[in-house]
Chains A and B, each alone.
Chain A
């Protein structure tokens, strides 16, 4: 078959992880003129199908594509040809997955040069997660999250701009929760949740530029509501079916309403060609008021009837203040020196009054007060020097001091005069690196970072750490190859409980265009992670302090893809992605007790080959077919394994 030498369109240069939507669009990329405007558009409508063998819940957690018709993708562009449209100069619409996909997206922009610009971003995510390993498989979520962001800028190209914005984030759907009743030796029960969360944010702002100075101010208000309620009205014996604990009824309402008004201000100034300064200040006042109202009925461990009513009211507050000041000095075009000082302060404090009624008799009641304050002051100095075109060096030094204050009180009446506990942690870190460009296609980068924290907050925090990075890339028109290596080591030791972690990744990615209409790309990545931490826990009423948590991950990821265009009318793609964690190489899970001493591993493989064909039927019509297979296999247990065939057929049409 004669193959014309057609330069491939600049579509995904790497193996595309999802088979749809089809990257090739219908219609001419130059569009059609309609009066003073030029219009481009392409709409892909199709049918997705899936066939799942194995754990459908796990498939829905990882992939979640179902059967049905949907708008797989669509674009519309209306552009003024002379930039002097009457009401608008540009309209852009982009959509993906609308109608039936679990992940839907749409963006819209309309603007008139120098007058206004409006942007809308809308997203929807169907989240399904049975997550068997969590809480014995009793935590379940099937929610829909929708997010939308609106931004209007007036006079976008002028020195004085005005900004108005609105964002909304909602999450809703059913879920399964768990909890323990009625005392410390009780049982655990699952119950239903009706999740309802809303967040609205309003923004007003303006930018002013005078000479070399620009000031930007934003005032915002964020309102948040969580009206999730929980219930169970059927008898359940709980996780332990042999004891006498039961739960027969549960009702819980815990509305949480809050607001966070905030200010943000930025000042940028080019004092001269060599000096720039940037200042940033933000302040927000978060407050959440809450009520907790619960009634539970069942039997206790002795088989006696129990009911308990719990009531809690209170409020939490979190003011946050952040400031940054940055000075950048560029004495010539070879040297850049920058210094940033940062300040971040937050405190979380709250009051609550708790009361409990057991079997109709007043039980405990107390008031609570909590305070956690975090203040962080940091300074970072950075320098970069490029003495030659082929070589340059850079370095930085970072110092930070963090103060944490904490006060926890629980009593019938809270005395507020107690002094909170205070601790200070200092971090010092230095980075040195070099970048080389010996010949035009070759770039090499090295960097090393060493950091020390004198008082990390918890055992697995960064304490004495080193990070190394090396990259090399060769990029030419028809061939590119990049390799990288990263290493991160952290040791955080106390007298008996040592934590150390080592993570190393090696990666290589290449792309090759042997002919103008063929593109091959492939990559491999290896992540080696092992961590060791001391544990303390109770087993059979004895405190065990001699065991360790040892986690090993040997994660290999491979991807490859071939893309070809035939006769300017047929686009072919075949790809493959495989991930495998080999753990420590063992072939079977260890016994129950040895889970504390043997390495924690989770050997699993996850593979997904895919293929796609797109035919140009006419200038404004394409037919597309795609198939993608998912194979998820855990080595130790088959309970969550699945194999799924998915695919789609679609047409892309341009009006």
Chain B
């Protein structure tokens, strides 16, 4: 209630300000103090906002300070007594590319956003204000509109369903976030699958798939590489979000993961003459031979055995 009274008083105050004769200074900028009377809710909490540092930056010019750094010169808006049509950047009215232009005026130099103009999000008109809430975020760091996973689930319902499976990366539990593997601002062409799919997957630190950021024991280099892992990536066998299958595999039964490739056919494989079938000593009629990884334990690569037996 107190806030409402203050806001009401603020509106009256704003109106009063609007009725005043404009200052002799012909700069279109009014300074952030001019915004406070009408927008107390935003003003009172702005000191928590990462953008607040623009108001105390030494040597900053008016177009790069405070409210007007994002919303544009406000003197005309104050003189008119408010209204979205009189503020240069009313984000609720702006087109997506205009929102991008406004934010990238300052944030374009971050290497994390180097691909934002060509990203899948931008192509779908998902821009900064689709995920970030500058004045109503609970997170002081990245100003997301909600918890990161919830922001992403809002559009990616299939991904939400995948993380509801029994085997999954621990995103819902808070151990991981979507941005551990993805760059929502757009990523460079990838390092596997001829660099095309999947999109928006960030490259890891040593020019690898992001899986290797945590699963460093699978990185190698190994004396005997499992070529499929290096050529087409971890998604050759795994579903990284979530799966009903153990170890996030694409199939419930291990031997089908292996034998679907190891069938000797065509010009596949590193020698381009087919991926070798299993040894004739195997007997798939015996259930012992249907758990390939019982013996072939080092399927991600081995230093000791070309058949990954050690």
Residue in A81, A239, A410 whose CB lies within 8 Å of B288? A239
Looking at B13-21, B23-31, B75-83, B112-120, the stretch in contact with chain A turns out to be B112-120
| Chain B 134-167 interface mask (CB, 8 Å, partner A; 1/0) | 0010101100011100100111011011011111
CB atoms of A484 and B158 under 8 A apart: yes
Give the distance in Å from the alpha carbon of A453 to the alpha carbon of B256 in the complex. Answer: 24
Interface string of A145-167 (1 = CB under 8 A from B): 10100000000010000000000
Which of B111, B158, B269, B285 is in CB contact (< 8 Å) with A458? B269
For B95, the chain A residues whose CB sits under 8 A away are 333, 386, 389
Q: What CA separation (Å) do A260 and B269 show in the bound complex?
A: 28
Q: Cβ of A406 and Cβ of B164 under 8 Å apart?
A: no
Contact (Cβ within 8 A) A328 B117: yes
Residues in chain A near residue B12, CB distance under 8 A: none
Q: Is the CB of A536 within 8 A of B157?
A: no
Residue of A82, A287, A333, A495 near B56 (CB, 8 A) is: A82
A402 surroundings in chain B (CB, below 8 A): 194, 231
| Beta-carbon contact of A600 and B261 below 8 Å | no
Q: Does B5 count as interface, using CB distance less than 8 angstroms? A: no
Contacts of B173 in A (CB 8 A): 18, 97, 102-103
Q: How far is the CB of A118 from chain B (nearest CB, A)?
A: 13
Q: Is there a chain A Cβ closer than 8 Å to B86's Cβ?
A: no
Least CB distance from A424 to B in Å reads 10
* Interface membership of A194, Cβ < 8 A: no
Interface size for B (C-beta < 8 A) is 126
Is A89 an interface residue, CB under 8 A from the partner? yes
Interface of B is mostly: loop
The B166-225 residues at the A interface (CB cut-off 8 A) are 166-167, 170, 172-176, 188-189, 191, 193-197, 203, 205-208, 214, 216-217, 219-225
A622 interface hit (Cβ, 8 Å): no
A276 within 8 A of B: yes
Verify if B33 is at the interface (C-beta below 8 Å from A): no
Contact of A523 among B115, B160, B253, B280 (CB under 8 A): B160
Whether B263 pairs with A484 at a CB distance below 8 angstroms is: no
Contact: A13 with B108, CB < 8 Å?
Answer: no
Among A418-435, those with CB < 8 Å from B are: 421, 423, 425, 427, 429, 433, 435
Give the residue name and chain of the A residue nearest to B304 (CB).
A292
Q: A residues within 8 A CB of B294? A: 135-136, 138, 178, 180, 188, 239
Knowing A262-B205, A372-B230, the reply to whether A348 touches B220 (Cβ < 8 A) is: yes
Chain B residues near A593 (CB, 8 Å)?
Answer: 285
Q: Which of B258-273 contact A (CB under 8 A)?
A: 259-272
**Is A398 an interface residue, CB under 8 A from the partner?**
yes
- For residue A320, which residues in chain B have a CB less than 8 angstroms away from its CB? 206-208
A113-B160 contact given A185-B281, A222-B206, A495-B266, CB 8 Å threshold: no
A572 at the interface (CB under 8 A from B): no
Given known contacts A209-B109, A342-B195, A282 and B220 CB-to-CB distance under 8 angstroms? no
Q: How many A residues are at the interface, by size bracket?
A: 35 or more
In the assembled complex, which residues on chain A have CB atoms less than 8 Å from the CB atom of B155? 471, 473, 482, 484
Could you tell me which residues of chain B, from 234 to 268, have a CB within 8 Å of some CB in chain A? 236, 244-247, 251-254, 256, 259-268
Tell me, rounded to whole Å, the shortest Cβ–Cβ distance linking B147 to chain A: 6
Nearest residue, chain A, Cβ from B138: A10
B253 and A595 contact, CB distance less than 8 A = yes
Contacting pair A400 B253 (CB below 8 A)? no
A312 and B114 contact, CB distance less than 8 A: no
- Are B223 and A579 in touch, CB under 8 angstroms? no
A549 at the interface (CB under 8 A from B): yes
Which residues of chain B come closer than 8 Å to A188, judged between CB atoms? 288, 294-295
Using Cβ atoms and an 8 Å threshold, which residues of chain A touch B280? 538, 541, 543
Partner of B306 from the list A197, A408, A461, A499 (CB cut-off 8 Å) is A408
A459 to B197, CA, bound (A): 17
A505 is an interface residue with CB less than 8 A from chain B: yes
Instruction: Tell whether B42 is near chain A: CB-to-CB under 8 Å.
Output: no
The CA of A478 and the CA of B259, in the complex, are separated in Å by: 52
The reply to whether the CB of A199 lies closer than 8 angstroms to some CB of chain B is yes
In the complex with contacts A10-B145, A30-B45, A525-B160, A284-B207 CB distance below 8 A: yes
Structural contact, A535 and B306, CB atoms closer than 8 A:
no
Could you tell me the distance between the alpha carbons of A102 and B157 in the complex, rounded to whole angstroms? 26
Chain A residue nearest to B263 in the complex (CB)? A536
Q: Is the Cβ of B256 less than 8 Å from the Cβ of A600?
A: yes
How many Å lie between the Cα of A92 and that of B206 in the bound state?
30
Instruction: Tell me, rounded to whole Å, the shortest Cβ–Cβ distance linking A180 to chain B.
Output: 4
Which residues of chain B in 263-306 are interfacial with respect to chain A, using CB atoms and an 8 Å cutoff? 263-272, 275, 277-285, 287-288, 291, 293-295, 297, 303-304, 306
Nearest A residue to B156 via CB reads A484
Docked CA distance A541–B114 (Å): 57
User: In this complex, what residue of B is CB-closest to A350?
Assistant: B223
B154 partner, pick from A288, A445, A509, A602, beta carbons under 8 A: A509
* B206, B208, B224 pick with most chain A CB within 10 angstroms: B206
Beta-carbon nearest neighbor of B137 in chain A: A10
**B222 x A348 contact (CB < 8 A):** yes
Is residue B232 within 8 Å, beta carbon to beta carbon, of the partner chain? yes
Q: Could you say which residues of chain B place their CB within 8 Å of the CB of A496? A: 265
Which stretch, A298-306, A375-383, A512-520, A645-653, touches the partner chain B? Answer: A375-383
Whether A392 pairs with B263 at a CB distance below 8 angstroms is no
| Chain A: CB-nearest residue to B147 | A12
Residue B97 interfacial (CB < 8 Å): yes
| A48 to B47 CA separation, bound complex (whole angstroms) | 37
The listed residue (B150, B247, B268) touching A457 by CB distance below 8 A is: B268
Query: Which of B47, B124, B136, B191 is A435 in contact with, Cβ under 8 Å?
Result: B124
Tell whether B84 is near chain A: CB-to-CB under 8 Å: no
Would you call B267 and A536 a contact (CB within 8 A)? no
A507 at the interface (CB under 8 A from B): yes
Q: In this assembly, does B57 line the interface, its C-beta being within 8 Å of a C-beta of chain A? A: yes
Q: Which residues of A contact B174 (CB under 8 A)?
A: 18, 96-97, 103, 105
Min CB distance B129 to A, Å, is: 12
Nearest CB on A from B154, distance (A): 7
Residues 540-558 of A contacting B (Cβ, < 8 Å):
540-541, 543-545, 549, 551, 553, 555, 557
Closest A residue to B303 by beta carbon equals: A290
CA distance A100 to B205 in the complex (A): 31
Assembled-state Cα–Cα distance A374/B227 (Å): 10
**A539–B255 CA distance with the chains assembled, in angstroms:** 14
- Contact of A134 with B195 in the complex, beta carbons under 8 Å: no
Using A185-B281, A239-B294, A338-B118 as known contacts, say yes or no to A266 and B111 having CB atoms under 8 A apart. yes
Contacts of B160 in A (CB 8 A): 14, 509, 523, 525, 557, 559
Q: Is A340 an interface residue (CB 8 A)?
A: yes
Interchain CA distance A595-B288 in the complex, whole Å: 14
B206 lies within 8 A of A260 (CB):
yes
Q: Are A139 and B123 in contact (CB under 8 A)?
A: no
Judge whether A180 and B196 touch: CB under 8 Å: no
User: Bound state CA distance, A518 and B194, in angstroms?
Assistant: 48
User: Does B8 make an interface contact (CB < 8 A)?
Assistant: no
Complex contact A18–B189 (CB within 8 A): no
The yes or no answer to A404 lying at the interface (CB within 8 A) is yes
Inside 8 A of B117's CB, which chain A residues have their CB? 276, 328, 330, 336, 338
- Cα(A123)–Cα(B177), bound, Å: 11
Which residues from 250 to 291 on chain A have a C-beta closer than 8 Å to any C-beta of chain B?
254, 256, 258, 260, 262, 266, 268, 270, 276, 278, 280, 282, 284, 286-288, 290
Q: Given the known A-B contacts A14-B154, A134-B246, A350-B223, are A184 and B189 also in contact in the complex, defined by CB atoms under 8 Å? A: no
Q: A394 CA to B126 CA in the complex, in Å?
A: 14
B261 touches A458 (CB 8 A): yes
Q: Which chain A residue shows the least CB distance to B281?
A: A184
On whether the beta carbons of B270 and A372 are closer than 8 Å, the reply is yes
What 9 A-B pairs have minimum CB-CB distances, sorted nearest first?
A494-B266, A316-B221, A602-B252, A557-B161, A318-B221, A507-B157, A83-B56, A525-B161, A400-B194
What are 11 A-B pairs at a CB distance below 8 A?
A96-B174, A129-B246, A262-B207, A342-B189, A374-B230, A382-B118, A384-B122, A496-B265, A497-B263, A535-B259, A551-B251
Q: Please give 6 more A-B residue pairs, beta carbons under 8 A apart, in addition to A284-B206, A443-B125.
A: A81-B47, A134-B254, A188-B288, A312-B304, A334-B97, A402-B194
